[in-house]
Amino acid sequence: MPIKTLQRRLTQVGVIRLGEQRVSQRGKNYPAKLETLRFTSPSQTLIEAVASLYGGTVKPWQHNTGPQFEVVTQAKNIPVLVPPQQIDPNYELWGNGFRSRMCDGETERIRQQVCLCAAARAAGRELKPAEACKPTTRMSLMLADVPSLGTWKLESHGWNAAAELPMLAESIAAAAQPIPARLELQLREKKLFHPNRPQNEQIESRTFMVPVLHFEFVTPAQAFGGQIAHAARQAMVAQHLAAIGAAPETPQDPEKLTEAEVVRLAGMVKTIPQLQDLWKDAARDGVLTGAAKKALSERAGELGDAKPQPAPEASAAGPKVTATDSSGEPVDVEIEPDKDALWVQIQAAAGKRKWNSAALEERIYSRFKKVSDEINGFDMETFLAEVEKGQIQ
């Protein structure tokens, strides 16, 4: 049994960084901003995968915790997935590799006392840069095209990120699955006015890089109306279909049943439904020969039932019943098939064909231009029939 109070999370495999440490001519380290995304990780394999996608040279990199690898890519924006999480900016002060203060602007949470920065300013004392807390925003992202199920931490110490990234925090935290997005590194400019300087030096321009998340598949109505999970699911299906359309065609699985295998498997099945499935598979693969039928029929007799027959093909329409209209004349009406029962059968058919959930959703969307939550019982019945006939591969 799992620990009920344990909060589950994905493993962090790396960090997305917006700058790097450089050495001045005097030999001192200083932080420098980058115009493209930088990635670091203890895994050389992951960094090499990032470099193969987004360019850059893989280099060893020394972190406080030990040796790692890094790559400064040529990419300013990349596709990502945003897993469900809490996004809460804080004021933080770090020194010697550990966090000494964390504050919300009113209360310093580590010591549970009044904000030290605010108290110092109220007393008229100007804080040095090394003494003042910085706005800090962290979030976890998954790189959509890099083969790993782990997350990459994105951390920013800018005011823009602290104000913009948490805008959809509640919707992201409530989402049932990761949300497709695009991470972009944007160049921003800020003008500062210094009235005490000479007139030609009073205006100072500063540039800085800001991480921006674009949720291009989600409308504002969906995001703030509690429908972000549904929109995310549609977006993932659309991305899968786009990837399939762009990928080169691959040959179908050449493995098919043979007559000998049908005869052998007939003696191994335990139930009539299993026997019926084997009958249909043999027919699909063109090996329902006289010998195969004989073996299947004999096994049916051993199981104490009648000879197995292929399951009747599902009709695109549901069962018809007779009713009357407002004039009293009899009319034929269709009763929608049981969606729950059909969905179980569809999942069973998908499992038999080794389709995972994403592959099944792709086929449903390709057939009806809808996700599975939106199709009705008639659609499900049609889909199941076409799968069984081999019309949907």
CA gap 181, 185 in Å, rounded:
13
Residue holding tokens 């019943």? 321
Backbone angles phi, psi at 63, to 5 degrees: -105, 165
C-beta separation of 19 from 33 below 8 A: yes
Instruction: Report DSSP state, residue 388.
Output: H
Residue 55: inside a domain = yes
Which is nearest to 268 in space by CA: 303, 312, 226?
303
Count the domains in the chain: 3
94 plus 230 within the same structural domain? yes
Length, in residues, of the chain: 393
239 plus 267 within the same structural domain? no
Judge whether residue 162 has pLDDT over 80. no
350 plus 233 within the same structural domain? no
152 plus 276 within the same structural domain? no
Residue 254: inside a domain = no
pLDDT score at 246: 55
Q: Does this model's pTM top 0.75?
A: no
Q: How far is CA 209 from CA 156, 187, 261, 377, in A?
A: 10, 5, 63, 51
Residue 237: inside a domain = yes
Encoded tokens for 104: 């919300």
Given pLDDT bands bounded at 50, 70 and 90, which one contains residue 2? low
Pairing of strands 29-41, 12-23: antiparallel
Strand spans (E) along 251-358: 320-324, 330-334
220 plus 162 within the same structural domain? yes
pLDDT score at 166: 67
Residue 6: inside a domain = no
* pLDDT (mean) for 8-14: 82
Over residues 262-293, the pLDDT tens digits come to: 888 888 877 767 777 888 888 888 888 888 88
Residue 117: inside a domain = yes
210 plus 233 within the same structural domain? yes
Judge whether residue 3 has pLDDT over 70. no
- Residues 6+ positions from 202 with CB-CB distance below 8 Å: 193, 194, 195
CA gap 119, 123 in Å, rounded:
6
Residue 358: inside a domain = yes
225 plus 293 within the same structural domain? no
Q: How far is CA 298 from CA 96, 286, 302, in A?
A: 78, 20, 6
Residue 30: inside a domain = yes
Encoded tokens for 21: 């440490």
86 plus 115 within the same structural domain? yes
212 plus 179 within the same structural domain? yes
Domain housing 365: 335-389
180 plus 108 within the same structural domain? yes
Number of H-type helices and E-type strands within the chain: 12, 15
122 plus 230 within the same structural domain? yes
- Using DSSP's 3-state secondary structure scheme, residue 382 falls into helix
CA gap 324, 381 in Å, rounded:
26
pLDDT score at 9: 67
Residue 240: inside a domain = yes
Judge whether residue 18 has pLDDT over 50. yes
Q: How far is CA 140 from CA 5, 36, 136, 143, 186, in A?
A: 22, 19, 14, 10, 19
pLDDT score at 322: 44
Pairing of strands 12-23, 151-156: parallel
Given pLDDT bands bounded at 50, 70 and 90, which one contains residue 341? low
C-beta separation of 152 from 16 below 8 A: yes
226: phi > 0 → left, psi -120 to 50 → alpha, else beta; which?
left
pLDDT score at 242: 58
166 plus 282 within the same structural domain? no
